[in-house]
Structure formats: C-alpha cells, structure tokens
Structure 1
C-alpha cells in the first residue's frame, strides 16, 4: 500500500534507450509502476526492439544489447496496449519532464497512436529533489528511503526507486517553508498531484524545451537568435522561421505545439 493521496491513478515510468536524442534515438525497455487510488500498484516491464543498433556506450550503461531485443516487439507493436494501460493516468518519473515523457510522446507520434498529455498532471521527482537536495537518483534513494539502489539503470529498479522517492519527499518536506530570492515564503511540497505538477511541470510548452513561458505567462522561444522573444511575434513578423522549424530536425512534439500556437494566432487576428 502506498501513501500518496490520489484522485486518479499515476504512472511512474522509466525508459532505457539507444541514446538521448529525442528525434533519432529509440526506446529499448520501458517499466511502468501504476499507483491506483485504492493503494494498489500494477507493474509492467518489457523490452522493445528499437529497429536500430544499440550503441555500445548505451548498452554499457543499461546492460541491454542487440541480442536482448532482437525478438522483442517493436514500439508500434505495443503502442496501443501501452496507451490503454496509461489511459486516465497522471505521469511521474525521475527527470521525466526533460527526457522520459518527451521520448515517449515522440514514439507515440511516430506510430500514429494518440497519447495526449494535456489533461495529465506530470510530476518530476528530480525537479523536487534538485530543488531540495541536488544529487542523482541513487543519492535520492539513499537520502529519502535509507536504502542503497541496486541494479541502477535497470528500468524496473529505477522506476520502483522513483516511486519510493516521491513518497519520501512528501514525508520529509510537506509543510516545510522556503523563502525565495525575493523574500516570498511558500510551502512548495504538498501531498497533492496537481500541486506537484504545478511545481515541476507548469512551465512546459514542448518537451524539448524549445519554447517556455516567461514571467508574464507568455510563450517565448528558448533557443537561438530569437531566445526570449514572444513566439506569437516571431510567427507574425518572420513567417519563414516557422517554415524553417517545421523542416528542421526538431521533435514532432515541438512542431505540433508550434503549429497549435500559429493556428491560435491566426484565429486571434
């Protein structure tokens, strides 16, 4: 039985991949721990054939080699069942907002399976950890749970550790106040998934981070020559930049979000 107060299921998950490039790399293993509102959990772990060679440097990290996945299903083969398993779930992980969720969304987009994250809360335990105790997952597990993480970089071990870490973070920090650089006092950590989403994921527009919200809540570019400039303004004044991004090596999720902003701009004219 877990101690999280949940209004809907939340799926903790971890990916092992061929590399860290969202556009070019692929998933080789996924593990999901689905925490249910009744306190029960469901665990699913499986290897995936990435349909490309696994670089040796990646295999040396997670221990998965080409022979281990040659008979495994492709992501396309499991996509619909996985989407069904995650249906109605919020999402959580360790560094999940910057890597695991963007990678998973990209894989779903590639195979044409709908996986909308708009109505899901997203909780990144690394974001909480780095705010409160800047280290890595093994250190977080030792610090919050008093245990040594064995089988690190095994998707299931990392996922179960992340699940326990969030519970440990809530137990340690719920009710603890923080004072920011402007003197504002807050209690950021609450046993509430919506509040934790707001803390760790509220500034996300596209998962690659090419666009973010500024302090005024406006969508701005987060890279290149237009860094810090409003997306709406650039789309209006330099339409060729939209075409360049759509033809460039950007994740499908980034292109989709940019297109949504462009369509919204057109309807506001």
Structure 2
C-alpha cells in the first residue's frame, strides 16, 4: 500500500506584510502540486495588499510597496484564486504541506473574510489534511539545539532550498522536508493522513504550551507567553457581534 508521502503533495506558502495573522496581508503566495510520479505544477500570485509593506518585511521577501502596487493583482482576486487552488487540492485528497501551517492558513482565512471570499474551511470542511514539517520535526527531535525555521530544517534533513523567502521555493522545500521526515520515521510516513492530521493537532498544542512555559520562566520574555496560540492548523475566526452562536 502506497504511503501518503509517496503520492501527490500540495505545498503551500505565503509571504506577507508582517506576522499579525489578524491584520497583516498576503503579498505573494504559492500552491505547488508535486510528487506522485507526475510533473510539478506551480501556481504563483503577487497581490497588491492594499496597505504599505513595512521595510522589514520587504527585506525578507524582496517585494516593496511600489512593486506590489505596480505588478500585483487586486488582493481580493488573488485570495479568491488562492482559496480555490487550495480547495481543489484538498478535495482531490492531497495533503496541504505548509511550514508553520497555522500562520499561513489563518492569514488566508482572514483575508478571505476581509474580501468576501468563501473561507477554505467552509468549502472543504473535515476533508482538510495538513502536514506541517515544523510540528513533525519538533515531535521527532524535540531537544535538538538551534533554530527551527525552514532554512534550519533544510540543513538538518539535507534538503535543497532554491531561494529562501520566495513563496514557491519555500513551498517546494517544505514538501521535501516532509518527505524526508516521513521516510525516516515509519510512524509518520505509514500513518493514514486522517490520523496524522489529528496527531499534529495534539502535538502542536503540546509544543505551544511548552513554548509558553519557557517564556514564563525566562526573564524579559514573560509577557510573550500570552501571545502563544495553541490552535492548529488554523486559529478559528472570532465571531462578530450579532452572529449566531
């Protein structure tokens, strides 16, 4: 029986205006379908986010406000097409592979609601299966020193990263890291996707609680603990006043 990682994967990554999932915006996005013995298909978008791109964010991903306004497409159009591409992958039975998935999927959810696009969770419901290399890596090697960013995991698992902080390169690299972890760890690689998804919900919660505990006992970082979220693969949207409960 074929394992999930030997089949088709849907890599997903965003570059954004910042790290606030409730208020920051998508600048570039990529969904890449790869593996499974078929040619790689890559779908890329650049959006005009409608707000200024801070200098710090532009230094990370290389897209300035001026470039996004000149070359980017309307944010609502990009979000609609991005959600459609993700939904198509999910409904075809592909796992969405995303590094630090709760950030990217939450941003997409908020952007969809901001622009009047049907959110991904409303389209695919319980069919969503996510593989997060960051969560998997922390589970199988919790005490390894050093960073846990995508570049770090690429070094750890001997994966080529063709251009860090471009959405398409990061999406492909996340798939490669997930593949290496799954091939190395039979419990992960041979698990049914539905079970692996649920395990990651639990593992991500435990990892977040551990990080919050670390902040609480670290002088100068105590206040950071309150900002640690435990939800995975997406932080649920807050209902607006007047919505049905």
Q: TM-score, normalised by structure 2?
A: 0.71
For 1:20, the equivalent position in structure 2 comes to 19
Helix, strand or coil at the partner of 1:13? strand
- Are residue 126 (structure 1) and residue 134 (structure 2) matched? yes
- Select 1:92's aligned residue among 75, 97, 100: 97
- Select 1:101's aligned residue among 102, 105, 119: 105
For 2:5, the equivalent position in structure 1 comes to 4
Figure out how many residues of one structure are paired with residues of the other and give that number. 203
Pick closer, same or farther for the CA change 1:259–1:12 going to 2, 3 Å: farther
Task: Check whether the contact 2:45–2:78 (CA below 8 A) recurs between aligned residues.
Answer: no
For 2:238, the equivalent position in structure 1 comes to 255
Helix, strand or coil at the partner of 2:12? strand
Q: Over residues 138-183 of structure 1, what are the superposed CA-to-partner deviations in whole Å (9 max), with x where a residue is unaligned? A: 1211222x24534211111111100111111111111xxxxxxxxx
Pick closer, same or farther for the CA change 1:115–1:204 going to 2, 3 Å: farther
Post-superposition offset of 1:125: 1.4
For 1:139, the equivalent position in structure 2 comes to 152
Q: Over residues 44-91 of structure 1, what are the superposed CA-to-partner deviations in whole Å (9 max), with x where a residue is unaligned? A: 112111111110011111111112211311221223332322224142
Structure with more helix by fraction = 2
Post-superposition offset of 1:201: 2.8
Q: TM-score, normalised by structure 1?
A: 0.65
Structure 1 unaligned blocks of 5 or more: 175-186, 210-222, 225-250, 264-269
For 2:82, the equivalent position in structure 1 comes to 82
Helix, strand or coil at the partner of 2:44? strand
CA distance in 1, matches of 2:6, 2:242: 36
Post-superposition offset of 1:188: 4.9
Comparing 163-172 with 60-69, which one deviates more in the overlay?
Answer: 60-69
After superposition, the CA RMSD in angstroms is 3.3
Post-superposition offset of 1:132: 1.9
Map 1:209-224; keep pairs closer than 5 Å. Answer: none
For 1:110, the equivalent position in structure 2 comes to 114
Post-superposition offset of 1:3: 7.3
- Select 1:160's aligned residue among 166, 172, 179: 172
Q: Over residues 103-162 of structure 1, what are the superposed CA-to-partner deviations in whole Å (9 max), with x where a residue is unaligned? A: 011111111111232321122111001112353211211222x24534211111111100
Computing the radius of gyration over CA atoms, which structure comes out larger, 1 or 2? 1
Structure 2 unaligned blocks of 5 or more: 210-224, 227-233
Q: Which has the higher contact order (CA 8 A, sep 6+)?
A: 2
